Amino acid sequence: MSLARTMVQELAATVEEPPREYVVDDMLDADEMPQPIPLIDLSRLMAVDEANKLRAALQTWGLFLATNHGIEESLMDAMMSASRDFFRQPSEEKQKYSNLIDGKHFQMEGYGNDKVVTRDQGLSWNDHLHLRVEPEDERNFSKWPTHPESFRDVLHEYASKTKRTRDLILRSIAKLLDLDEDYFVNQISNKAIGFARFNYYPPCPRPDLVLGRRSHTDGGLLTILFVDQDVGGLQVERGGKWYNVPAKPYTLVINVADCMEIMTNGIFRSPLHRVMTNANKERLSLARFYAVDAETMLEPAPSLLDDKRPPRYEKIKAKDFVSFSRMKIS
């Protein structure tokens, strides 16, 4: 089986019908919202009402929209436009950062598609650039674009800002659970890995049959997502239904990831989410994935457990954690 695939961007420019591997089984749609996705003002989390809103958001959706997150609009604009400039380059330029070594050996970092593991694995209408941003002293700059020229500096700046936002949110989550304020922050030492995933979704001729990103949960502790303000597409699952997450200018989407669900013993959920395609417009997004230290023992925080609330997840070392579904006891 060949790992090398045509970039979706090139497919989109040439085909009228998406290849079979991209087509999903069910017709794609969204359900009517029961209530809007909560919008949290991060500068007000000291206030009880805002903290309660955060708690409700994390329990019901595992995801929320965040304003007043401390990242300047000009920096967000610069980051989005650097990403757009990267993806607009000719294919040969982008292939210099390919995630396939010698055209066949897949590695996590670089430009390309997701790893193909099985023959019948469905594909997504998406190309991406995946970069390891933390630990800061282990950045592999051979995978960091030099075009546009500003790319590296802007990403460096953006990463230092999202880190602050991350810590603010992690501390707020710990407080909601009466845990030590640094309980989650301490799981991320200066050796923990943080990725930036720049997603590019070309227009797709069959948005009713093809997903920009198939349904998944994020594996780490927390994800800070910056979505295209002009094109929606992100959906989140709740109670077996799919709901549109609105794209609001300069508003981040924050979601709980699997390790956080385990550590909170399922009080806060790591939501399934997916991305729809659009017939006419390209779409970009940038996910910052924050993982815990590889050596961390993943387990529900002991103070959240008692006779009535037994652990719902088995203990496992973070580096051995691969599939979320295998971890659930009930």
Per CB under 5 A, the list member of 127, 218, 258, 282 interacting with Fe ion is: 218
Q: Least distance from C-beta 229 to ligand AKG, angstroms?
A: 12
Q: Least distance from C-beta 212 to ligand AKG, angstroms?
A: 7
Binding site for ligand AKG (CB under 6 A): 197, 199, 213, 218, 225, 227, 234, 273, 275, 285, 287
> What residue ranges in 143-232 does DSSP mark as E strands?
194-201, 211-216, 222-227
Q: Least distance from C-beta 281 to Fe ion, angstroms?
A: 20
Q: Is the separation of the CB atoms in 111 and 95 below 8 Å?
A: yes
Cis peptide leading into residue 205 (ω within 30°): no
313-319 contact pairs (CB < 8 A, 24+): 313/261, 313/262, 313/265, 313/266, 318/259, 318/291, 318/292, 318/293, 318/294, 319/294, 319/295
Q: Is 261 in the site for Fe ion (CB under 5 A)?
A: no
Q: Least distance from C-beta 219 to ligand AKG, angstroms?
A: 9
Which of the choices ligand AKG, Fe ion, none does residue 197 contact, using the CB cut-off of 5 to 8 A by kind? ligand AKG
Stretch that binds Fe ion, among 37-45, 128-136, 215-223, 298-306 (CB under 5 A): 215-223
Which of the choices Fe ion, ligand AKG, none does residue 275 contact, using the CB cut-off of 5 to 8 A by kind? ligand AKG
Q: Is the separation of the CB atoms in 98 and 4 below 8 Å?
A: no
| Two tokens, residue 93 | 């330029």
The smaller minimum CB distance to ligand AKG, of residues 150 and 244, is found at 244
Which of the choices ligand AKG, Fe ion, none does residue 234 contact, using the CB cut-off of 5 to 8 A by kind? ligand AKG
DSSP type of residue 23: B
- 70 in the Ramachandran plot: left (φ > 0), alpha (ψ -120 to 50) or beta? left
The smaller minimum CB distance to ligand AKG, of residues 9 and 265, is found at 9
Matching residue, tokens 């699997």: 258
The smaller minimum CB distance to ligand AKG, of residues 188 and 236, is found at 236
Q: Least distance from C-beta 287 to Fe ion, angstroms?
A: 6
What residues line the site for Fe ion (CB under 5 A)?
218
